[in-house]
Amino acid sequence: MPFPWGPSLMRRMYRSWSGPIRKTAPPLLGSLTRYLMLSTQRRISDFNSFVVRTNTCGELRSSHLGQEVTLCGWVQYRRQSLFLILRDFHGLIQVVIPQDESAASVKKLLCEAPIESVVQVTGTVISRPPGQQNPKMPTGEIEIEVKTAELLNSCKKLPFEIKDFMKKTEALRMKYRYLDLRSSQMQYNLRLRSQMVMKMREYLCNLHGFVDIETPTLFKKTPGGAKEFVVPSREPGKFYSLPQSPQQFKQLLMVGGFDRYFQVARCYRDEGSKPERQPEFTQVDIEMSFVDQAGIQKLIEGLLQYSWPKDKNPLTVPFPSMTYTEALDLYGTDKPDTRFGMKKYLKSKDFEVIKKFAVNHFNQEVSPLFLKTSGSGKSPFTKLLKEEEKTALISLMGAQEEDVLLLTAGEHKKACSVLGKLRLECADLLEARGVVLRDPTVFHFLWVVEFPLFLPKEEDPTELESAHHPFTAPHPSDIHLLYTEPEKVRSQHYDLVLNGSEIGGGSIRIHNAEQQQYVLETVLKEDVKLLSHLLQALDFGAPPHGGIALGLDRLVCLVTGVPSIRDVIAFPKSFRGHDLMSNAPDYVSPEDIEPYHIQVRRPEVTDRKDVKSVICETESSQQLVLPSLAKTENPLEKLALGQTPELLERRKSSKYPDNQ
């Protein structure tokens, strides 16, 4: 299938080698400005209630001259013995160190306090001397003349400096996450996240009558969806499961008459090592009764518009929409990044000549062809075309000299997928040359609809599996195909895509027990006994209902422009699902395992050379940690493996795991 891309954009790619069209996107606001903007937007009347300080470090101005204030914060910087910069998470202020002999104890304390120590100072707001004002600081016209000071806590030597411009490995940041959280970027990310969630609650509960209901975390393993974590119980052979979403519970709430439900839900998926996935994550979970697809989409557009940060480009609603088939045809993916072009233009039905060329020259049917042409249009590929075909191709594409056209042919879905990936590679090439295609300050939302209801299983294409989950309702126009040709049925599923990332997905649900049982039992060949509770509930007057879940972590990641969702989660796991700060997951003693009636196999070690080390990986780095726990009689190995009686006893008696 031919699949060239827009000539104007490809011409830019060809010509960009000599010089960029535009440099990279404008940087994020400075760290201090970031938190001040958040504070201003929220308009909190009193940040200082219930605490010993009278003011925050960032709120004082010339209007406060002469006032006596008490401030608490961290020592960020000290200039000899003259002044220091005190920081809290609302801003910075300059504190003058007293030089009088009568204040020698205060001077000694402030001069000797290590950087990042916590201090409390009381003093008077005064103007800075002429010529010493700092217009880059909101508090740059004033300073604090200290009268008394108290060291609240001293700081040991830091493993890294708490400065934004200091480069730190991700492994180091995650090991000392509590220090990394002091950075202005992490403060901004998490405070912005909190603000967005607060606005979402306000929109849903206060403006539209939703009820915030918590659902269980301990559930049972049921068919469909991603792999789940299992949790042993004290009943022999029985296990709980951590839910991958509150899907079944929110449907049951609809049966129970709570027609507008939402929850900021913790979810769990045992999906192994994936760069942009976390084993535990957060989603804004929503369900409504008596609603259709258009109603859900309108709700979400209003929700995002209401909760959108004021310092970002405003959203325009309604969001554009395209079908799954259109997305695959035009962009080669079901989650297209529509901030830039390079989509399909040629729609010829019969291009066997390209297919034969690929087979003859590349020994495969689907292959991207990079063909260099002269100004006259001569190339190995154009020799296979008739003159009128070449003319038609050039005319259709509006191609000019030095344009690059990329085509492929083969099985439709594979060809689209290959070119979809190639499209992103081309964007990477352009941006490496300084051409901005995917400006992180621009936000393009897109609804993708009419997904297939079922897909062939990878391991056995003759059998079907749910494209999303087995509770999705079929498209009204395709219900008759459900019983004859289920592989052709479209679903009432919809995904919300932002800048090429899926940030939300939902569907109208099956609310008829008979139809739900047919899908599970006949089409998917699942054991319906595992879902008997849901089938029974649908038989007791379940209303039509549908919903959606927004991935909060990924949404905030895209809004803030950070490279990883780990930068918008307070305590994330590493690339391999490890907590490098606490060394979780960790071993537990046989005594702790015994009540659960399970056995744990641990590797037998007969020779020291067999002791294997564990590599805790993050996406960008590796860190070597202790060897794997194994049986050994060597005293030194026992110490390294944490198997000494003393350490085992400490593990048993301590409230927290011993990770020394």
CB 331 within 8 A of CB 343: yes
From CA 122, how far away is CA 112, in angstroms rounded? 18
E strands present in 156-216:
211-212
Burial class of residue 656 (count of CB atoms within 10 Å of its CB; 0-12, 13-18, 19+): exposed
Q: Enter the tokens of residue 43.
A: 């308009």
Residues 6+ apart with CB under 8 A from 352: 409
pLDDT grade for 190, boundaries at 50, 70 and 90: very high
Tokens 């217009």 found at: 135
The region of weakest confidence among 261-265, 283-287, 413-417 is 413-417
- Are 435 and 339 within 8 A, CB to CB? no
pLDDT digits (tens, 9 = 90+) for 433-486: 888 889 989 999 999 999 999 999 988 999 999 999 999 999 999 999 999 999
Locus of tokens 């962009």: 331
Cα angle 583, 587, 591; round to 5: 145
Integer-rounded Cα Rg, in Å, for the chain is 30
Minimal CA–CA distance to 614: which of 642, 581, 566, 578? 578
Average pLDDT, the chain: 82
Q: pLDDT per residue over 315-358, tens digit each? A: 999 999 999 999 998 899 999 999 988 665 434 433 444 455 44
CB atoms closer than 10 angstroms to residue 153: 10
All domains in the chain, ordered by first residue: 7-20+340-432 (no CATH), 44-153 (2.40.50.140), 186-326+444-568 (3.30.930.10), 590-653 (no CATH)
Q: By the 8 A CB rule, do 516 and 535 touch?
A: yes
DSSP assignment, residue 569? S
pTM: 0.81
DSSP character string of 269-332 = ----S-TT--SEEEEEEEEEES--HHHHHHHHHHHHHHHS-TTSPPP-SSPPEEEHHHHHHHHS
* Residue 297 · residue 550 · CB < 8 Å: no
Per DSSP, the three-state class of 611 is coil
- Per the structure block, which two tokens stand in for 111? 């001069």
Six token digits for residue 88 = 């809290």
Q: What is the pLDDT of residues 489-502, one digit of tens each?
A: 999 999 999 999 99
Rounded Cα gap, residues 323 and 321, in angstroms:
7
More confident call, 516 vs 629:
516
pLDDT, tens only, 41-72: 455 567 899 999 999 999 999 999 999 999 99
Strand ranges, E, within 592-652 = 613-617, 622-627
- Tell me the per-residue pLDDT of 237-258, one tens digit each, with 9 for 90 and over: 999 999 999 999 999 999 999 9
